[in-house]
Structure 1
Amino acid sequence: MYIESKLVEVNETLFSQDLSEEIDPNIIKEEIGIPSCSWLKAKSKIQFKKGLFIVESFFENEKNLTDIFSIRGEYIQISYLGKGDSHLVSLKDKKPIEMGRINCCYHCDTVTTIEMPANKPTHYQAIYLSKEYYLELLKNEAWVENNSFYKHIIQGDFQKWGTCKFPIDYNLYHILNEITKSDWNNDFKKYYLDLRLKELFLSLHFCQEEVCNGVIKGISKENLEKIRTAHAYLIENFKNPPTIKVLARKILLNELQLKKDFKKMYGKTIRSFIIELRMEKAKTLLGKHTVSEMAGILGYKSVPHFINTFKKCYGYTPKQGLNQ
């Protein structure tokens, strides 16, 4: 497997990596930037070894930017656009890369043109595995026998980008960040990553089952997609969440149906879900910020309100949590 990302307008190769041979038994980490361009800030963190490539990239471009992304060999791709308005361009059409969705694909020898419009910052995370790495990783996992994506790969039935996609949930969001941002000691990095990759694929399997369960719960397939899109949008925007009215307009569903189906699907109200996300994030901020800073980061205008919410959730205040 070989991967290359080339930025056309600045004639720069962001990264170019041959993953067909073992370069180092450990995971290699690199941070890459384009320092010489006044209108573009581009940086990528890549981690790789034979058959595995992990990338997290950020772009801030004042002009339109085109990324020619080339991959040789059979590969499995898991990608997520957290921010931006990018499009995939082909001879036939131009497809938006929908923000807030995880896309899974299985393909071979592809060259993809990605257009990023000016003044719309882009953030994406992606994982690429060779077919051999993927099959070796999951060979002893009992659940794969019932997984349709795995069956397509076993049969050599390519699944194009966009065929298999899911609005992100908090668990997937957390796992992706753990994989792309982790700085574990190299002695254990491979074992840690393989465990997290297995967890990622299992969670995606659960997402497929969740779709079936949602229909069983009495939510139409059309509304189910909208509810899961709302769920994904809240995960990305819980620090400054939209009102129910604004969220309903975004997903083209009336407010009453949104509230009803959201609770039916996830067992909690939208307000409860936002509080849950904020409190999960709050735990990670303990010891790194003051209580006042934590409240601001999480979108609380009132520090006492934040403290009371935290105590109601965990049984102790943020300050008491620092001493535990």
Structure 2
Amino acid sequence: MHIKSKIESFEDWLFIEELPDGYNAQTPLAEKRMTIKRPPVHQFSNYTISSGGLFLMHAKMQFDEPAKILFEIEGETVTSQFIFYENAPASDDAGKGKRSRAGARHNIRYIPSLSGKYELSPVVEYNYFLVVLSKEYYFHLINQDSVLHADFVEEIKNGKYTSISAKDLLVSHEMKQLINDILECKKTGELKRLHTEAKVLELLMLQMEQMQNDQHQEIRTFTDLEQEKIEQARDILDQDYANPPVLPVLSRMVGLNEFKLKRGFKAYYGITIYGYVTRLKMEKARHLIIDQKKTIREVTYEVGFKHQSHLSEAFKKYFGILPSEIRH
């Protein structure tokens, strides 16, 4: 398995990796980091993990002018791809105060061998997370006969480039958390290799669950524009969870009727709008209590509750314990 990538105008490759095609648990895990600070790069950082049959890459990038990333993959691989993008902060007064437009997509692909290029806009900050598995490694993680990916496996047997989902889907909160777990892992050596493999499997399961659940047929009924509006609604809730807009207002903000917004949000993210806001509030509350050592009173108002008793009731229902007990 051969993988390499470079910025089109640069002579040096960002990385060149030669990995065994088979699954080899004895191969030690290797980590590499790289940063680039020269035109046309505005910011670029790259982190890779490699082991026997597994390659993982996380890149953050923004360019001062249009740019292209070249890539080559040789050998039969299965890739789990996540792309996060966000409009860069406006530098002029006319653009200031506007809400940043962000998005996140994912898919699983079988790539027998491929070379190509990604075109990147200078007005966008990109956050790219990629897992490349040899075919043997992939089938080590998920049995070839599993019903989870039956159609996908048929295309793999035919040696055809294919995606497990016809169109890229929206990234869920749980997927983001798993990616952060992988990137922030402090373990080393064999423990880190096991941790990475376990999290990659869990990430694949979340992707397949979203693609295989009963609502997948419903997802296909939404247009690309409607999908963007659903994602925009999620962005608004992420930023304004303490005082979120009520459904009619949120519907008007994104330009999608209430019925479609409710259905689409549940179909893509597997949770209602109300449930999503509750989860954001509770996870923020836990973070403030445990990591920032804030008082229950301070947390109450910061996450949007009027009374401590309301926070305590919601916290108990969500986590099974009172916020006052979480420090013990």
Deviation at 1:321, TM superposition (A): 5.0
Aligned residue number for residue 311 of structure 1: 312
The sequence identity of aligned pairs, in percent, is 19
Aligned residue number for residue 109 of structure 1: 113
Deviation at 1:42, TM superposition (A): 0.4
Correspondences of 1:203-242 after superposition (within 5 Å): 203-210=206-213, 212-213=214-215, 215=217, 221-223=220-222, 232-233=231-232, 238-241=237-240
Q: Give the letter aligned to residue 29 of structure 2.
A: I
The question of whether the paired residues in 2 share the 8 Å contact of 1:170 and 1:235 is answered with no
**Cα offsets for 1:13-47 (capped at 9, x unmatched):** 22221123879722211221114458521001111
Q: 2:140 aligns with which of 136, 144, 159?
A: 136
Q: 1:24 to 1:59 in 2, by over 3 A?
A: farther
Task: Tell me if 1:81 matches 2:80.
Answer: no
Paired residues in the alignment total 305
Deviation at 1:206, TM superposition (A): 1.7
Q: 2:42 aligns with which of 36, 40, 43?
A: 40
TM-score, normalisation: structure 2:
0.74
Unpaired runs of 5+ residues, structure 2, are: 88-101
Aligned residue number for residue 54 of structure 1: 56
The question of whether the paired residues in 2 share the 8 Å contact of 1:14 and 1:34 is answered with no
Cα RMSD (Å) of the superposition? 4.1
Q: Distance in 2 between matches of 1:134 and 1:176?
A: 18
The question of whether the paired residues in 1 share the 8 Å contact of 2:29 and 2:190 is answered with no
Unpaired runs of 5+ residues, structure 1, are: 86-97
**Cα offsets for 1:232-260 (capped at 9, x unmatched):** 55555543148456754687631244236
Aligned residue number for residue 176 of structure 1: 179
Q: Distance in 1 between matches of 2:74 and 2:270?
A: 44
Aligned residue number for residue 19 of structure 1: 19
Task: Tell me if 1:200 matches 2:199.
Answer: no
Correspondences of 1:242-253 after superposition (within 5 Å): 243=245, 244=247, 248=251, 253=256
Q: 1:281 to 1:235 in 2, by over 3 A?
A: farther
The question of whether the paired residues in 2 share the 8 Å contact of 1:82 and 1:236 is answered with no
The question of whether the paired residues in 1 share the 8 Å contact of 2:107 and 2:163 is answered with no
Task: Tell me if 1:8 matches 2:11.
Answer: no
Q: Distance in 2 between matches of 1:177 and 1:185?
A: 16
The question of whether the paired residues in 2 share the 8 Å contact of 1:56 and 1:125 is answered with yes
Q: Distance in 1 between matches of 2:260 and 2:13?
A: 48
Q: Distance in 1 between matches of 2:305 and 2:174?
A: 29
